[in-house]
Structure 1
Amino acid sequence: MPLFELRELHNFLLALIPIFVAIDVIAILPIFLSMTEELAADEKKVIVRQSVITAFIVSICFLAIGKFIFGALGITVSDFKIAGGIVLLVLAINDLLFPEKRRRFEGSSIGVVPLGMPLIVGPGVLTTIIILVDTYGYLPTLFSIIINLFIVWITFIKSNTIVNMLGENGAKASAKVMSIFLAAIAVMMIRRGIFELISSQ
């Protein structure tokens, strides 16, 4: 395999994990189930499709124009790494300390809002996307978004089976682990942002 392809594969794998952790689909799963428990199977499939399509559109829009917005506002990627890392850290700490308040939202069109945005793609995911674009490039980030949203789709479609396999305690434990990883990634972003900011002076 050519060196270029190996590098692209490596970048893709490195971009895949932070988005997976930021979405934290295991944490969203109980919320999805509670919002759709009274719906028929066909209605659930429609909600799943709406939520994933919404998340994809929002992600792609931010992927395409996020850096342009930064330029217009005079924000550097280092600034965003620090600010975004702080946002992710707050989200992770909130999820760890107050699991009963995990990103819960009310809404009528649940496929678009709140499932698609901001539950699947919220501030943490958008922050991660813009930083990954700067670090690994557009293609690895785009493929990572697509793969992660496919994982979300599969998880929602098979939600009842997954919850039965994990059990309530297993789902809670998995969500805690994801929150710890999210906190670690947030600290890494803050550290890199500060280092790059100092180096550019």
Structure 2
Amino acid sequence: MQLDPKEIFTAFMVLFAVIDIIGNIPIIIDLRKKAGHIQSEKASLIAGVIMVVFLFVGQSLLSLIGIDVNSFAVAGAFILFFIALEMILGITLYKDDEEGSITASVFPLAFPLIAGPGSLTTLLSLRAEFQTQNIIIAIIINVIFIYLVLKTSARIERFIGKNGISIIRKVFGVILLAIAVKLFATNIKAMLI
């Protein structure tokens, strides 16, 4: 077992950029308003478990059900696209019949927002380059950051204010839309080649 701080740091930074938990603060605040409360521990833990499990069985699982990584990423791009539309236009496309924070903690927060197609496909790419134990440590560090942001999102909202949140929400909506389009374009091109 070879722990490499450079590999851990690189894997952490790549995952941190893809997960973009800081950029997702407006979505988290919006989900908290809809659900009333988000179970930060549960959402972080579920996202971490999904990522670790996918690291080991992702490629095999997708192959088993006849889905390639590119198709998986394209499906994820659609989900991100609709979340971005909600943020930019101020409309609600996703409606949940069940009231409560358990559903909000799992969907769409833990999956697909945190442990989404972007982070899951990134994990498959990292596995080809880095040692598995280094990637797992990078996932754990990311989960700690995710937990801290989820726990303090209400304080962040108070600090920024209602208008600030509205502006940030629209800006990050456009960024999320751009990520969705890029994810779609890159993977649809790979599927067609």
TM tier, smaller: 0.7 to 0.9
CA RMSD across the alignment: 3.3
Aligned equivalent of 1:75:
67
Runs of 4+ that moved beyond 6 A? none
List aligned pairs for 1:137-176, cutoff 5 A: 137=127, 142=136, 145-176=139-170
Aligned: 1:191 with 2:180: no
What's the offset of the Cα at 1:167? 0.1
How far apart are 1:14 and its partner, in Å?
A: 2.9
Aligned residue in 2 for 1:123 = 112
Distance 1:22 1:65 in 2: 28
Closer, same or farther: CA 68–109 of 1 in aligned 2, 3 Å: farther
Q: How much identity, in percent, do the aligned residues show? A: 18
> Which amino acid counterpart does residue 135 of structure 1 have in structure 2?
S
TM-score for both structures, normalised by structure 2: 0.73
Q: State the SS of the aligned residue for 1:158.
A: helix
Change (3 A) 1:144 1:103: farther
Please name the residue that 1:41 is paired with.
none
1:55 counterpart = 2:55:
no
- Asked if the contact 2:8–2:138 (Cα under 8 Å) also holds between the matched residues in 1, the reply is no
Q: CA shift at 1:134, angstroms? A: 3.1
Q: Deviations over 1:43-93 (max 9, x none)?
A: x8xx33233223322333334322222111222222223333233223322
- Gapped runs of 5+ residues in structure 1? 38-43
Distance 2:99 2:76 in 1: 29
Residues 26, 135 of structure 1: alpha-carbon distance in 2 compared, 3 angstrom cutoff: same
Structure 1 partner of 2:24: 24
Unaligned 5+ segments in structure 2 are none
- Asked whether the equivalents of residues 70 and 191 of structure 2 are also in contact (C-alpha less than 8 Å), the reply is yes
Alignment of 1:4-43 (within 5 A): 9-20=9-20, 24-32=24-32, 35-36=35-36
Write out per-residue CA displacement over residues 111-141 of structure 1, whole angstroms, 9 at most, x where no aligned residue: x4221x1132223542112221233337576
Q: Is the 8 A contact 1:21 1:182 kept in 2?
A: no
Paired with 1:89 and 1:148, the residues of 2 have a C-alpha distance of 24
Q: When you count helix as a share of all residues, which structure comes out higher?
A: 1
* Segment drifting more, 23-32 vs 162-171: 23-32
SS in 1 for 2:159: helix
Distance 1:148 1:36, change over 3 A: farther
Give the TM-score taking structure 1 as reference length. 0.71
Distance in 2, Cα, partners of 1:195 & 1:8 = 31
Is contact 1:22–1:182 with CA below 8 Å preserved after alignment? no
Listed one character per residue, the Cα deviations across residues 117-176 of structure 1 (whole Å, up to 9, x for unaligned) are 113222354211222123333757655543443233223333342112100111122222
